[in-house]
Amino acid sequence: MTPTYTRALIVGAGPGLSAALARLLAADGLKVGLAARDVGKLDALAAETGAAVHACDATRPDEVEALFARMEPALGGSPDVVVYNASGRLRGPVVDLDPAAVAQAVMVSAYGGFLVAQAAARRMLPHRHGAILLTGASASLKGFAGSAPFAMGKFALRGLGQSLARELQPQGIHVAHIVVDGAIRNPARAPEPADAPDSHLDPDAIARAYRDLLRQDRSAWTSELELRPWLERF
């Protein structure tokens, strides 16, 4: 059976992947909700897609609950697609890292994902229907020098996705962790080299991969997907 989804919530929304996904889902007829700590950056996207917008710090349980309570009337019901795109990025030599900043980075990448997935699952389980998509990165699979906090958070998010898939998929909820293994195209900030076209991931192409997950028959659900540009070194 191929599920039909009608309402989507993207947490950690911003330009790039989140914007591409919001546009694609809205074009497919889904009502879209967007959440971020800074909602000012979402004004143009909300106007373009008709999305509902709500400020949320995903590391705070009270704010996550308030987000879902706000989105239910705004979307005409609980979201049946929830995407967690928030990440805590912190770089530096391990001996110089501020422990409090490390804790916050891991909270954003992993604990926030737990809170959002928990709130989503509580609303999806009575209907035995829904999809929870967790956005990972290269750091979900390999830790890089000078980037320990990001790897810690993304490794944890991947573990969360594996546990949720085993627990929730038999109850009708599709859970997938997506490894975005490479830089996402952003011409304004990091143009691709002229001699290496398509060396960065196209956000619209990533969004289509997410949509493909939502269109899968439950007899063959994907629980983890790796996406990388064709020039990415393995």
Region at 56 (left for phi over 0; alpha for psi -120 to 50; beta for the rest): beta
What distance separates the 2 farthest-apart alpha carbons in the chain? 52
The angle that helices 148-168 and 112-124 make with each other, rounded to 10 degrees, is 20
DSSP symbols for 6-75: -EEEEES--TTHHHHHHHHHHHTT-EEEEEES-GGGGHHHHHHHT-EEEE--TT-HHHHHHHHHHHHHHH
Q: What was the pLDDT predicted at 210?
A: 97
HSE value, Cβ hemisphere, 13 Å, CA-based, for 117: 30
**Alpha-carbon gap, residue 221 to 230, rounded angstroms:** 24
Q: What was the pLDDT predicted at 197?
A: 72
The answer to whether 151 and 143 are in contact (CB under 8 A) is yes
Residues 52-56: what's their mean pLDDT?
96
Write down the pTM of the prediction: 0.94
The answer to whether 9 and 35 are in contact (CB under 8 A) is yes
**Edge-to-edge strands of the sheet including 224-227?**
52-55, 31-36, 7-11, 81-84, 130-137, 173-180, 224-227
Q: What was the pLDDT predicted at 181?
A: 87
Q: What is the pLDDT of residues 174-224, one digit of tens each?
A: 999 999 988 888 766 667 677 677 778 899 999 999 999 999 999 999 999
HSE value, Cβ hemisphere, 13 Å, CA-based, for 183: 14
Q: What was the pLDDT predicted at 190?
A: 65
The answer to whether 192 and 199 are in contact (CB under 8 A) is yes
Q: What was the pLDDT predicted at 3?
A: 78
Q: What is the pLDDT of residues 82-94, one digit of tens each?
A: 999 999 999 999 9
Please report which helix (H) or strand (E) contains residue 175, including its range. Answer: strand 173-180
Higher model confidence: residue 231 or residue 183? 183
Q: What was the pLDDT predicted at 234?
A: 60
Q: Please name the residue that has the structure tokens 């949509």.
A: 211
233 falls in which pLDDT band (50, 70, 90)?
low
Burial (CB count within 10 angstroms: exposed 0-12, middle 13-18, buried 19+), residue 226: middle
How crowded is residue 120: how many other Cβ atoms within 10 Å of its Cβ? 28
Q: What was the pLDDT predicted at 232?
A: 67
Q: What is the pLDDT of residues 84-125, one digit of tens each?
A: 999 999 999 999 999 999 999 999 999 999 999 999 999 999
Higher model confidence: residue 231 or residue 176? 176
Is the pLDDT at 38 greater than 80? The verdict is yes
Residues 30-57: what's their mean pLDDT?
95
